[in-house]
Homo-oligomer: A and B are copies of this chain.
């Protein structure tokens, strides 16, 4: 076992013990200070970020990806604002959700406690560093952050600043730790650090998620792959359906709650498909259609089997004509990644059937899948969107970064 991960794990576990007992006010004060320190040290962050940008250019990384990496004064302010929003959220720790008296006259309460040490493996933009660290800290968990090599210097600078704030608040700086090594070997060791990590949350593309699933023995929460659908029923209002499809596909195609496939009932295909093709064309969305849909489309390619299973994350939409709502549900349950699914219909029974039978974290009637989001659900900032069924499903806020313990008040009870 690598010395680095073991050392980080031990330090984090010890820090987690202190953090689990920290009062809400001290956590909030520290978060507000972190936000301030980020803004006050923007220069330091920008210098580190410039190293990442230079390296990215040397490595021939395409401009859109370089833009995702780039920090500016404004983006640093947004990160600080994100931390302040986390400070403003209610503290989930210590809440007793229910308490009851048993037949034996024991009083049993179920109390929220931190999970312990959370590992985050991510490959996205540097703002994940401050988002994840602040959510873990507020929910009483130590965090070990392992970012991608593209943003190494930016991530490192951000964590160093947050650690300095911790020390200035007389707290153990190991409450927020950074893995100073972006090799695959070290990542693999992190995925098997069962003695120290209570949970591992990967944030990134399907490749990362798959690698973590296959390698990790630490409990994992899968996040973020969204092969989502809108099904336009025969009883749909077609203008509502058009607006929802456009929004779900084209408003921001690179996010996990966008859709990848449109399913259209055959009874309305001849009317709806030309209408949606025109609307999508103005957003430069290219189409991959099955043979039935192709009949009604002018500019579409024939879809391959792979297209139904692909998360394009781009201005590409697969389209399929179905003979019934049952066919739509069967297609969705076969190909989807259990993230977000929507039906557009004015039929009450069809809407209810869709809600009941589709297997996904979030199932919508007459709304865009783009609402699957911690803020839009009313949870505040989110650590990710779980696509697994264990522990948490859908947008994960502070509450989903907690466990519980039963606290039991007796007066001498023994078991018969």
Chain A residues close to B by CB (< 8 Å): 17, 20-21, 100, 102-104, 106, 108, 113, 115-116, 194, 198-199, 213-217, 219-221, 237, 240, 243-244, 246-248, 251, 333, 355-357, 359-368, 370-372, 376-378, 388-391, 393-394, 403-415
Task: Give bound CA distance, A404 to B389, whole Å.
Answer: 7
Residues of B within 8 A of A404 (CB): 393-394
Task: Give bound CA distance, A414 to B368, whole Å.
Answer: 5
Residues of B within 8 A of A214 (CB): 194, 217
Task: Give bound CA distance, A237 to B198, whole Å.
Answer: 37
The answer to whether B415 touches A362 (Cβ under 8 A) is: no
Residues of B within 8 A of A405 (CB): 359-363, 393-394
- Nearest B residue to A192 via CB reads B214
The answer to whether B116 touches A378 (Cβ under 8 A) is: no
Residues of B within 8 A of A356 (CB): 21
Task: Give bound CA distance, A85 to B365, whole Å.
Answer: 38
The answer to whether B394 touches A406 (Cβ under 8 A) is: yes
15 A-B residue pairings within 8 Å (CB atoms): A100-B378, A106-B371, A199-B389, A219-B219, A219-B388, A237-B412, A248-B414, A365-B410, A366-B410, A366-B413, A367-B409, A371-B408, A376-B415, A390-B390, A393-B403
Residues of B within 8 A of A106 (CB): 367, 371, 376
A364 contacts which of B100, B247, B368, B408 (Cβ < 8 Å)? B408
The answer to whether A378 touches B198 (Cβ under 8 A) is: no
Task: Give bound CA distance, A390 to B388, whole Å.
Answer: 13
Q: Given that A414-B243, A414-B370 are contacting pairs, would A102 and B378 also be in contact in the complex, using a CB cutoff of 8 Å?
A: yes
Task: Give bound CA distance, A225 to B141, whole Å.
Answer: 24
Residues of B within 8 A of A388 (CB): 198, 219
Among A104, A115, A199, A367, chain B packs the most CB atoms within 10 A around the CB of A367
The answer to whether B390 touches A391 (Cβ under 8 A) is: yes
Q: Sorted from nearest, which 6 A-B pairs have the closest CB atoms?
A: A367-B410, A247-B414, A389-B403, A370-B415, A391-B391, A367-B413
The answer to whether B368 touches A413 (Cβ under 8 A) is: yes
Q: How many copies does the complex hold?
A: 2
Residues of B within 8 A of A221 (CB): 390
Residues of B within 8 A of A333 (CB): 17
The answer to whether B244 touches A409 (Cβ under 8 A) is: no
Task: Give bound CA distance, A267 to B236, whole Å.
Answer: 77
The answer to whether A409 touches B21 (Cβ under 8 A) is: no
Minimum distance in angstroms from A97 CB to a CB of chain B: 11
Residues of B within 8 A of A21 (CB): 356-357
- Nearest B residue to A239 via CB reads B412
The answer to whether A219 touches B361 (Cβ under 8 A) is: no
- Nearest B residue to A247 via CB reads B414
A389 contacts which of B116, B216, B368, B411 (Cβ < 8 Å)? B116
A413 contacts which of B20, B362, B371, B414 (Cβ < 8 Å)? B371
Task: Give bound CA distance, A246 to B415, whole Å.
Answer: 10
Minimum distance in angstroms from A191 CB to a CB of chain B: 10
The answer to whether A362 touches B408 (Cβ under 8 A) is: yes
Minimum distance in angstroms from A155 CB to a CB of chain B: 26
Task: Give bound CA distance, A219 to B216, whole Å.
Answer: 10
Q: Given that A247-B415, A362-B408, A408-B365 are contacting pairs, would A390 and B213 also be in contact in the complex, using a CB cutoff of 8 Å?
A: no
The answer to whether A378 touches B103 (Cβ under 8 A) is: yes
Residues of B within 8 A of A364 (CB): 408, 410
Task: Give bound CA distance, A247 to B409, whole Å.
Answer: 17
Task: Give bound CA distance, A372 to B251, whole Å.
Answer: 51
Residues of B within 8 A of A240 (CB): 412
Residues of B within 8 A of A415 (CB): 247, 251, 368, 370-371, 376
Task: Give bound CA distance, A102 to B373, whole Å.
Answer: 12
Residues of B within 8 A of A116 (CB): 389
- Nearest B residue to A257 via CB reads B415
- Nearest B residue to A414 via CB reads B247
